[in-house]
Structure 1
């Protein structure tokens, strides 16, 4: 991913409060538009970098369960 895209996404949400950040995530997921995927990726990267090892393990477990569920649907 282009570093400029990361910076643009972060700049666009830098003043958002928790409710606005959550709304951004929910909207991106509910709309299911491909163009939203890079933004979600940047948000996930920020979350990952702020998480400790236990939180990362929980996220990977949740991801694995989600992938398995999506694959069986």
Structure 2
């Protein structure tokens, strides 16, 4: 298994609240070790979005940086 498969497998059966908690913990702790996992979750989400949703996400990112 590669890291993508491990992260996605670990998240697959989590509730929305558990996933939100994972994300919030990663943001709060500012741990660089969490960055690959966050990137993999972002990649998985991005791949399932349509162009309008991708435009919205990129707008949110632009506003946030």
RMSD of aligned C-alpha atoms? 1.2
In structure 1, stretches of 5+ residues that fail to align are: 68-73
Structure 2 unmatched runs, 5+: none
Aligned length: 65
1:29-56 CA distance string (max 9 Å, x none): 1111000000000010111011111110
Q: TM-score, normalised by structure 1?
A: 0.82
Instruction: Report which of the two structures shows the higher radius of gyration computed on alpha carbons.
Output: 1
Task: Tell me which stretches of 4 or more aligned residues in structure 1 moved more than 4 Å.
Answer: none
Structure with larger RCO (C-alpha < 8 A, sep 6+): 2
